[in-house]
Structure 1
Amino acid sequence: MGIIKNLFGKSNDKADYPSINWIPLTEHKQLTEIIQNSNLKYQAIFKHSTRCGISRSVLKQFERQENNESIDFYYLDLLSYRAISDEIVEKFGVMHQSPQLLVIKEGAVVAHGSHYDIMTIKI
């Protein structure tokens, strides 16, 4: 790996990329916590379909970006927790898509995107 990195200036080693300290979104009550915590700092929810190649690709690209450490990042596995995704639609009024990123501040969605548009969201 060292030779490749020296020759081409990059590596595919995940350790070379910034990492996100994901908080699994697995319970409905966490949405109330997200809304409350959004009064203190930005909250982000990444909706991911584990069976979708596009979703997997976007997630990998998103994880490689430089991410703001002062944001709480929640990861929602749509196949396991679809009811939570439905509640997100009700609470925030943003139509469900996958993959999707919602950014919440002061109880409201201030930015959202789906598919590769997620990569253009700046917080």
Structure 2
Amino acid sequence: MMLNKIDTLDQLEDLLKQEDKFFLLKHSLTCPISHAAYQEYQKYAEGNQGVPTYYLAVQEARPLSNEIAEKFEIKHESPQALLFKDGKAVWNASHWKITNRSLATALSENI
């Protein structure tokens, strides 16, 4: 399963309206930690296709990344994984805490 990339606030607004829940990864294209997190996120997405998985590249979508931090009052970090449910960010983790297991746990605790 491919991860879906978003770049704009409009795309995020559509997701918040259309999806009950979904994951979003803020991914830095230049950071080795982010690369490792992206691989974990991808592994999770491949094994758990019941929940949509999206990502944004911070360098390409900085306004969107900043808007997420402001709108949901979550300090920006990169990499950062967020779980959205019913239009709200209900969980987030950053850096080495982004693992296949932490994503699965986050989902099971926010069903």
Normalising by structure 2, report the TM-score: 0.83
CA RMSD of aligned residues (A): 1.5
Matches within 5 A, 1:18-97: 20-38=1-19, 41-65=20-44, 67-97=47-77
Q: Which runs of 5+ in 2 are unaligned?
A: none
Provide the secondary structure at the position in 1 that maps to 2:84.
strand
Q: Distance in 2 between matches of 1:92 and 1:45?
A: 13
> How far 1:42 sits from its partner (Å)?
1.3
Contact 2:81-2:98 within 8 A present in 1 as well: yes
Look at both structures and tell me which one has the larger radius of gyration over its CA atoms: 1
> How far 1:105 sits from its partner (Å)?
0.4
Which structure has more relative contact order (CA 8 Å, sep 6+)? It is 2
Question: Post-superposition, which runs of at least 4 consecutive aligned residues in structure 1 deviate over 2 A?
Answer: 64-68
The count of corresponding residues between Structure 1 and Structure 2 is: 102
Instruction: Judging by fraction of residues, say which structure has more helix.
Output: 2
Provide the secondary structure at the position in 2 that maps to 1:101.
strand
Query: Which of 85, 99, 104 is residue 79 of structure 2 equivalent to?
Result: 99
Matched with 1:116 is 96
Q: Distance in 2 between matches of 1:67 and 1:47?
A: 20
Listed one character per residue, the Cα deviations across residues 66-86 of structure 1 (whole Å, up to 9, x for unaligned) are 642121211100011111001
